[in-house]
Amino acid sequence: MELRGLTQRYGERVVLDAVDLGLDAGRVLALLGPSGCGKTTLLKLLAGLARPDAGSIRLGGVEVAGAGRFVPPERRGLGMVFQDYALWPHLSVGGNVAFPLQMRGWRKADIAGRVDEVLALVGLAGQAARNPASLSGGQQQRVALARAIAARPALLLFDEPLSNLDRDLRESLCDEIGGLLRELGTTAVYVTHDHEEAFALADQVAVLGEGGIRQLAAPEQLIDAPANAAVAAFLKQGNLLPAHLAAGAMGLAGDTMQPELPFGVPADGAGHLYFPQSALRAVTDGGLSGVVRAQRYRAGHYATTVRLRPPAGGELEVDWLSARRHQPGERVRLALDWTRVRWLPAA
């Protein structure tokens, strides 16, 4: 899949602004971003449910949208899974799965075998005769998944497929979809606003925002090294503290420090420190001073939120893994393991 300069406007609003994006065959890409950032718009352009205002889309080396060229959805070789399952209520489970095969002119005998095969793949062996309405939400989404993969599409598109399901089911089905995609080796684009889902499923995650891709990276890299403060703030996988550097001294949460920075010291000015919760430890002297605001026990430690003294008022908090229980309001001092700190530019 290759997008070049892909642009989509609604009236004055530019939702996608000259987006370039590539995905190798057999890989899974998650599109992650806040509500309204254009995830669904991008998916619709890929599916052929909308025409881009500018730019091009190539699938399997073939241009399906571009200057003067537009291949309709049914000729793009895609499978789609939607949030609301979108099963046809007048067809049985098997009828739903068979439908795209019938549309593609498969032979009857081949269709029956393939329907059984994909229903077994999604854990619904022997359920072909059932009415979709008699199934649970999770089972209905499995039928939709079976229908999407039945014709062996070159590209699978998912639009928040798990958001109507409860948490336990979401997690287990997410793992199953991930396993299935790898087993089939299908290229997939998966839209979600759930970070955990994106990290669990995808080889690559594109964080969308401000009309473009803020960062495209593997989950580990996004979590460990977000490209900038906006990405880190959206992902919430670590602590983010505004900081100010002037002549080697760092202004941080009301204190001035002269840290041994592990990174090349950037030019003087404003930025953010980014570090994992485990980079903080309690000390009796020095460090950042703050007040415990909330605490929750998690196997082996207390996940603790500490409110710092921001230099110019307002709220500034860090998350810290403490070995013991603290009372809300208790004063603490936290030292930072500077070897685990990154400096992030503002945007």
Considering only residues 30, 40, 204, 334, which one is a binding residue for ligand ATP as defined by CB under 6 A? Answer: 40
The verdict on 36 binding ligand ATP (CB under 6 A) reads: yes
CB of 224 to ligand ATP, least distance (A): 25
**Minimum Å distance from CB 107 to ligand ATP?**
38
Q: Which is nearer to ligand ATP, 41 or 304 (CB)?
A: 41
Is 41 a binding residue for ligand ATP by CB under 6 A? The answer is: yes
Q: Which of 130, 193, 244, 307 binds ligand ATP (CB under 6 A)?
A: 193
Stretch that binds ligand ATP, among 35-43, 253-261, 304-312, 323-331 (CB under 6 A): 35-43
Q: Would you say 26 or 36 has its CB closer to ligand ATP?
A: 36
The answer to whether 322 contacts ligand ATP (rule: CB under 6 A) is no
3-state secondary structure the chain: CEEEEEEEEECCEEEEEEEEEECCCCCEEEEECCCCCCHHHHHHHHHCCCCCCEEEEEECCEEEEECCEECCHHHCCEEEECCCCCCCCCCCHHHHHHHHHHHCCCCHHHHHHHHHHHHHHCCCCCCCCCCHHHCCHHHHHHHHHHHHHHCCCCEEEEECCCCCCCHHHHHHHHHHHHHHHHHHCCEEEEEECCHHHHHHHCCEEEEEECCEEEEEECHHHHHHCCCCHHHHHHHCCCEEEEEEEECCEEEECCEEECCCCCCCCCCCEEEEEEECHHHEEECCCCCEEEEEEEEEEECCEEEEEEEECCCCCCCCEEEEEECCCCCCCCEEEEEECHHHCEEECCC
Among residues 1, 3, 32, 37, the one that binds ligand ATP under rule CB under 6 A: 37
Ramachandran sector of residue 265 (left: φ over 0; alpha: ψ -120 to 50; beta: rest): beta
**Which C-beta is closer to ligand ATP: that of 45 or that of 101?**
45
Q: How far is the CB of 192 from ligand ATP (least distance, A)?
A: 9
Among positions 3-32, residues that touch ligand ATP (CB under 6 A) are 10, 15
Distance of closest approach, residue 292 Cβ to ligand ATP, in angstroms? 34
Residue 39 or 342: the one with the smaller Cβ distance to ligand ATP is 39
Confirm or reject binding of residue 153 to ligand ATP (CB under 6 A). Answer: no
Q: Which one among 1, 28, 32, 39 touches ligand ATP, defined by CB under 6 A?
A: 39
User: Measured from the CB atom, is 10 or 70 closer to ligand ATP?
Assistant: 10
Residue 9 or 58: which CB sits closer to ligand ATP? Answer: 9
Residues that bind ligand ATP (CB under 6 A): 10, 15, 33, 35-41, 193
